[in-house]
């Protein structure tokens, strides 16, 4: 140690011993410095890269930027669903470890119980690294408080989230559907798509079926944060691409009218001593292109309930018998016996199969004994219709005529009744853009064998009575209101079935059309004369038949068919399918009121109301008491 | 005393003065660099200005001590000792900061009496042991210990384990240099360890103290508490690499990951911002300061001067090693500041007074 060289020139006053000890001390100090410098070398040079990465991970965060979801417009460009900003308080779960009192502080600020905060904080669905939303739609004073007290509330952040807004409240909720947080099972299913826990996803109906268009593309930004997790600066940014918008064929005016008419029909049913009427559906279609102009289902729900996450209680209520299961879209997802509304289809099939001609006549004495006197079946009009041909049978909805037709179909043993029903779209999905569409049911021998194998093993073989029952739209035959409207397009436009079209256009984020969805003809019936024979029968329903009373004094020429379907253990279901104007129908309207009683007196007036509203008529719908089917 | 300018320049140890000025300047720059990003009241020079003020307050003290005969100090040492013990009692009447009562609030400044007691004890012990003329027996050691006990006890009560350990280091340094038997020193060290583990066993130490003392052995065991500070400090130093990130950069320091970045953990800030070469420069300056101090000690005119200078060297090297070792995870976490560098007025003032003592001892041999 040269620096200590002078120690050797020790002065007389320092004892030799002291000198030696100082020298020992200085060697010891040298050793300590060696230790420190080797440690510095180890940390900075040997482990330097490792620590540099750790420093980066500490302060550099890659944040997702949510893409604004696309809007949904009606056919005239009115906004049905848009987004609005929702100021949200979020909290990083680790913040609790740094400050155990933070939840108490938050509970005072946000006026929430600590238990509620803990529930949201411990929500396992979330990415553990992501801040969890604690309270949405903060008030201005809550925002101000959080901003001022950031220092005391480390780990709590203010985020502006984009949430759905419904300018027309619950209107068309069943068409639009709702959005919510992506669930575990959805995450598993869509692993290849870029969803992470906490993301928003369309849950039902259009929001679901157009999810790939509506959701857009998430962006990201790389930010630097401080030790408290607060963002200091943005290092790079990759903008989110907003979702595409969807233009519907729905006409808001008609949709509103249909929803109102449905409510009115239920009231009408109650006045006609059918107090159990509590649900129903209406479908309005344009038979010239398949556009769905309105889809109403009752009872309704408010999709905004789902915006900030639905509570368990709310969810239970929406799925309870008491509330009438409002989440079900009865126009599309629910199947009903079509009752007499199936008769025009049966009639067309009978004409095609040569079972009847327009002039073939059966005598209706109110009772049919094709299976022997013991097995007599009755017409809804016990006094009978007398000699009845096809036109009259449709107009008067004569059951005896159709029992005869059904019996003849049965004798053919070719299941042609089922065949023609399927030709009109029954028993299969129409292909509307709604994921939970029901296919209804066209029963046949194969179905019955399979269906009853376990439930009713003694009753697996198809009986002639089964075919006869189907011929009046009963038995095990089921159809959705949409299927019924869909099938009547053929009678309205002279033989074509258009696929129900709910979305006409998709717009990019700049609102330029990126995709047009043209009308699609799914089936065409070439026997115009048969179609027209049935069609004129449908006109007679309104002019002289079962719906004469319902449309008395109405200025628009309407054609249609009443239906009163029997459901075991329940009051009759009221149905009506109408089309107008008769000469060149622009609208096909199917109405069903569960346990509403008679089609003519409960369902038909709904069609009159909707048409009155479409044509701007000052029409007053009076209650008629018509017990025809 | 006549003031002869020529005489003064001849007597003044310019090497020591130069090294100290370099260290203080280095410290000021690093305090600025550690605080500019998160300075209070939006004043990025807030801490720098206050530290400079303390330096200016310290200058006349250094000058005064340089001219006063150190031995005469020893006559008044008992008054300083008593006065300082009273200050150490007074801290208990002030608000506790971070779980400890160490400060006396005087206007805008906080004074830490436990800093000053270090030098008072150092001077008194040096004087007492110098009088033994290199023959320090067991009885002398016990007398010295008794003298140490009152302030030591008061400081342990604050609690301030770090300063208590510095006092013990000074004591051991003084008896070692003063010529005590190595055997006696070994026995005393052993007794100290037994006492310490006894304190540990009978829960005299607070839980957090034990945790802080042991967490450096396994910082991953507590990544949110005491271990967190240590991990962040090591990341800061390690990520500095060879050349550092620059005085105006360094996410660990500037974004609050390094705890108390301008005081106890300033070594981590220096490591991140100036890298291996910056730390080498700093440690080099310290090394030469200590060598110079040992030289002054060995060249002192008498045993008293040797003891004063040698004990100061021991005090500094202990603080340096414990503080720097702490930031790098090889020593326990104790609140010991890095001399001349860490922000803190009392600490800087104490160290400047120590420099005054050294200059005095150094000049004394020309008398």
- Tell me the range of A2-11, A224-233, B204-213 where mean pLDDT is highest: A224-233
Summarize the confidence of residues A610-614 as an average pLDDT.
96
The answer to whether A103 and A117 are in contact (CB under 8 A) is yes
pLDDT category at B223 given cuts 50, 70, 90 is: low
State percent of chain B over pLDDT 90: 44
- What is the per-residue DSSP string for B297-355? HHH-SSHHHHHHHHHHHHHHHHHHHHHHHHHTTSS----PPPTTTSS-HHHHHHHHHHH
Measure A223 CA to nearest chain B CA, in Å.
12
Q: How many CA atoms lie within 13 A of A114 on its CB side?
A: 7
Q: What is the pTM of this model?
A: 0.71
SS3 of residue A589 by DSSP: strand
Measure B89 CA to nearest chain A CA, in Å.
32
Which residue of B238, B249, B288, B297 is the best one to mutate when testing the A interface, meaning the one whose CB has the most A CBs within 10 A? B238
Flag whether residue B237 sits within 8 Å of chain A, measured between CB atoms: yes
Q: Per-residue pLDDT for B3 more than 60? A: no
Task: Give the residue, A538 or A373, on which the prediction is more confident.
Answer: A538
Q: Is B255's CB within 8 Å of A26's CB?
A: no
Nearest Cα residue in chain A from B255: A226
**Mean pLDDT value across chain A:** 90
pLDDT category at A535 given cuts 50, 70, 90 is: very high
**Tens of pLDDT, residues A58-87:** 888 777 788 899 999 999 999 999 999 889
Specify the pLDDT at position A10: 41
Q: What is the C-alpha separation between A606 and A263, in angstroms, rounded?
A: 9
Longest dimension (CA), chain B: 63
Q: What is the C-alpha separation between A32 and A347, in angstroms, rounded?
A: 106
Q: With the C-alpha atoms ordered B290, B295, B297, B298, is the resulting torsion angle positive or negative?
A: positive
Q: What is the C-alpha separation between B213 and A227, in angstroms, rounded?
A: 24
Tell me which of A86, A209, A340, A438 is the catalytic residue. A340
**Tens of pLDDT, residues B117-136:** 999 999 989 988 988 887 88
**Tens of pLDDT, residues A242-263:** 999 999 999 999 999 999 999 9
Cα distances (Å, whole numbers) of residue B75 to A23, B69, B127: 30, 11, 10
Give A51's contacts in chain B (Cβ within 8 Å).
234-235, 237-239
Cα end-to-end distance, chain B, whole Å: 12
Phi then psi dihedrals of residue A51, to 5 deg: -70, -30
Q: H-helix or E-strand containing A483? A: helix A481-493
pLDDT category at B220 given cuts 50, 70, 90 is: low
Q: Per-residue pLDDT for A9 more than 60? A: no
Specify the pLDDT at position A5: 39
Q: Per-residue pLDDT for A560 more than 50? A: yes
**Mean pLDDT value across chain B:** 87
Count CB neighbours of A101 within 10 A: 9
pLDDT category at A8 given cuts 50, 70, 90 is: very low
Nearest by CB to residue A17, choosing from B179, B235, B295, is B179
Specify the pLDDT at position B203: 67
Specify the pLDDT at position A310: 78
Summarize the confidence of residues B290-319 as an average pLDDT.
94
Q: Is B313's CB within 8 Å of A32's CB?
A: no
E strand residue ranges, chain B: 104-106, 109-111
Q: Per-residue pLDDT for A587 more than 90? A: yes
Specify the pLDDT at position A134: 87
**Tens of pLDDT, residues A381-437:** 999 999 999 999 999 999 999 999 999 999 999 999 999 999 999 999 999 999 899
Q: Is B241's CB within 8 Å of A32's CB?
A: no
Flag whether residue B138 sits within 8 Å of chain A, measured between CB atoms: no
Q: What is the C-alpha separation between A340 and A479, in angstroms, rounded?
A: 12
Q: What is the C-alpha separation between A373 and A475, in angstroms, rounded?
A: 21
Specify the pLDDT at position A510: 92
User: In sequence order, what are the residues at sequence separation of 6 or more whose Cβ sits closer than 8 angstroms to the Cβ of residue B357?
Assistant: B65, B70, B119, B123, B308, B309, B312
Q: What is the C-alpha separation between B117 and B151, in angstroms, rounded?
A: 8
Specify the pLDDT at position A146: 86
**Tens of pLDDT, residues A445-485:** 999 999 999 999 999 999 999 999 999 999 999 999 999 99
Flag whether residue B131 sits within 8 Å of chain A, measured between CB atoms: no
State percent of chain A over pLDDT 90: 68
Specify the pLDDT at position A377: 92
pLDDT category at B257 given cuts 50, 70, 90 is: confident
Q: Is A54's CB within 8 Å of B235's CB?
A: yes
Q: How many CA atoms lie within 13 A of B242 on its CB side?
A: 2
Give A25's contacts in chain B (Cβ within 8 Å).
173, 176-177, 294, 310, 313-314
- In this prediction the ipTM stands at 0.93
Q: Per-residue pLDDT for A112 more than 90? A: no
Q: How many CA atoms lie within 13 A of B246 on its CB side?
A: 3
pLDDT category at A193 given cuts 50, 70, 90 is: low
The answer to whether A330 and A281 are in contact (CB under 8 A) is yes
Summarize the confidence of residues A98-118 as an average pLDDT.
84
pLDDT category at B75 given cuts 50, 70, 90 is: confident
Q: Per-residue pLDDT for B87 more than 70? A: yes
Which residue of B239, B245, B291 is the best one to mutate when testing the A interface, meaning the one whose CB has the most A CBs within 10 A? B239
The answer to whether B47 and B341 are in contact (CB under 8 A) is no
Q: What is the C-alpha separation between A178 and A182, in angstroms, rounded?
A: 12
Summarize the confidence of residues A595-602 as an average pLDDT.
94
Which of B 148-167 lie inside 8 A of A, CB atoms?
none
Q: Per-residue pLDDT for B200 more than 80? A: no
């Amino acid at each position: 140690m040269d620096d200590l060289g002078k120690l050797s020139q020790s002065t007389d006053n320092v004892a030799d011993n002291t000198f030696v000890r100082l020298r020992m001390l200085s060697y010891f100090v040298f050793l300590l410095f060696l230790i420190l410098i080797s440690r510095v070398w180890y940390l900075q040079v040997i482990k330097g890269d490792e620590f540099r990465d750790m420093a980066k991970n500490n302060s550099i965060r890659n944040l997702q930027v949510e893409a604004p979801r696309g809007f949904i417009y009606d056919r005239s460009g009115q906004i049905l669903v848009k987004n609005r900003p929702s100021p949200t308080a979020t909290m990083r779960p680790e913040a609790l470890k740094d400050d155990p009192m933070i939840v108490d502080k938050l509970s005072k600020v946000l006026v929430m119980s600590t238990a509620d905060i803990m529930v949201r904080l411990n929500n396992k669905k979330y990415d553990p690294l992501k801040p969890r939303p604690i309270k949405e739609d903060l008030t201005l004073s809550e925002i101000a408080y959080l901003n001022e007290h950031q220092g005391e509330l480390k780990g709590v952040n203010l985020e502006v989230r984009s949430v759905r807004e419904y300018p027309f409240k619950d209107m068309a909720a069943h068409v639009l559907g709702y959005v919510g947080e992506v669930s575990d099972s959805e995450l598993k299913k869509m692993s290849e798509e870029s969803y992470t826990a906490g993301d928003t996803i369309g849950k039902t109906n259009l929001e679901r079926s157009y999810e790939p268009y509506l959701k857009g593309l998430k962006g990201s930004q790389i930010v630097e944060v401080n030790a408290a997790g607060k963002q200091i600066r943005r290092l790079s940014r990759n903008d989110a691409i907003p979702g595409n918008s969807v233009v519907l064929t729905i006409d808001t005016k008609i949709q509103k009218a249909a929803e109102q008419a449905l409510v009115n029909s239920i009231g009408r049913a109650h006045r006609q001593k059918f107090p159990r009427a509590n649900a129903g559906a209406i479908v309005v279609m344009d038979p010239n292109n398949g556009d769905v102009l309105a889809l109403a289902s009752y009872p309704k729900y408010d999709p905004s309930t789902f915006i900030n996450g639905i509570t368990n209680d709310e969810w239970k209520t929406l799925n309870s018998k008491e509330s009438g299961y409002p989440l079900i879209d009865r126009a599309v997802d629910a199947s009903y016996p079509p009752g007499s509304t199936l008769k025009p289809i049966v009639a067309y099939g009978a004409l095609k199969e040569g079972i009847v001609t327009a002039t073939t006549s059966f005598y209706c004495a109110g009772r049919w004994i094709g299976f022997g006197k013991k097995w007599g079946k009755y017409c809804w009009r016990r006094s009978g219709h007398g000699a009845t041909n096809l036109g009259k049978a449709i107009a008067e909805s004569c059951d005896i005529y159709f029992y005869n037709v059904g019996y003849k179909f049965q004798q053919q043993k070719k299941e042609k009744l089922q065949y023609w029903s399927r030709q009109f779209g029954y028993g299969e999905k129409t292909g509307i853009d709604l994921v939970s569409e029901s296919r209804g049911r066209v029963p046949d021998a194969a179905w019955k064998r399979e269906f009853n194998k376990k439930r009713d093993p003694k009753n697996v073989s198809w009986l002639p009575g089964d075919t006869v029952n189907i011929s009046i739209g009963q038995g095990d035959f089921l159809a959705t209101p949409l299927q019924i409207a869909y099938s009547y397009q053929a009678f309205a436009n002279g033989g074509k079935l258009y696929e129900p079209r709910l979305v006409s256009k998709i717009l990019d984020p700049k609102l330029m059309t990126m995709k047009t969805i043209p009308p699609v003809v799914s089936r065409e019936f070439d026997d115009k004369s048969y179609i027209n024979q049935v069609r004129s029968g449908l006109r007679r329903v309104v002019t002289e038949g079962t719906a004469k009373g319902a449309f008395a004094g109405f200025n628009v020429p309407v054609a249609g068919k009443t239906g009163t379907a029997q459901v075991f253990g329940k009051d009759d279901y009221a149905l009506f399918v109408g089309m107008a104007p008769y000469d060149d129908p622009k609208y096909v309207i199917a109405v069903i009121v569960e346990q509403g009683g008679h089609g003519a007196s409960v369902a038909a007036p709904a069609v009159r109301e909707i048409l009155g509203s479409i044509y701007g008529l000052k029409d007053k719908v009076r209650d008629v008491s018509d017990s025809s089917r | 005393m006549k003031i002869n300018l020529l005489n003064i320049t001849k007597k003044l140890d310019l090497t020591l003065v130069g090294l100290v000025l370099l260290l203080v300047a280095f410290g000021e720059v690093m305090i600025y660099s550690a605080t500019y990003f998160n300075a209070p009241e939006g004043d990025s020079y807030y801490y720098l200005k206050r530290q400079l003020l303390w330096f200016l307050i310290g200058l006349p003290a250094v000058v005064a001590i340089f001219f006063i005969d150190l031995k005469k100090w020893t006559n008044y040492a008992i008054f300083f000792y008593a006065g300082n013990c009273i200050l150490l009692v007074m801290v208990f009447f002030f608000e506790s900061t971070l779980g400890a009562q160490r400060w006396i609030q005087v206007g805008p400044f906080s004074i830490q009496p436990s800093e000053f007691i270090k030098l008072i004890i150092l001077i008194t012990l040096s004087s007492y042991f110098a009088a033994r003329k290199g023959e320090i027996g067991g009885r002398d050691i016990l007398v010295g210990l008794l003298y140490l006990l009152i302030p030591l006890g008061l400081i342990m009560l604050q609690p301030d384990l770090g300063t208590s350990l510095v006092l013990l280091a000074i004591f051991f340094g003084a008896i070692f240099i003063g010529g005590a038997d190595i055997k006696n020193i070994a026995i005393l060290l052993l007794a100290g360890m037994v006492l310490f583990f006894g304190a540990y066993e009978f829960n005299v130490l607070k839980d957090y103290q034990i945790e802080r003392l042991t967490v450096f052995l396994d910082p991953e065991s507590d990544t949110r508490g005491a271990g967190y500070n240590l991990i962040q400090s090591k990341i800061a130093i390690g990520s500095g690499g060879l050349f550092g990130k620059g005085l105006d950069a360094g996410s660990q320091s500037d974004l609050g990951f390094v705890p108390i970045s301008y005081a106890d953990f300033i070594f981590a800030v220096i490591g991140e911002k100036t890298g291996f070469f910056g730390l080498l420069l700093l440690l080099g300056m310290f090394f030469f300061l200590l060598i110079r101090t040992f030289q002054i000690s060995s060249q002192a005119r008498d045993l008293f001067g040797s003891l004063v200078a040698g004990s100061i060297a021991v005090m500094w090297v202990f603080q340096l090693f414990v503080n720097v070792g702490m930031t790098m995870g090889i020593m326990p976490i104790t609140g010991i500041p890095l001399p001349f560098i860490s922000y803190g007025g009392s600490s800087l003032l104490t160290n400047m007074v120590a420099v005054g003592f050294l200059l005095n001892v150094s000049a004394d041999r020309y008398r």
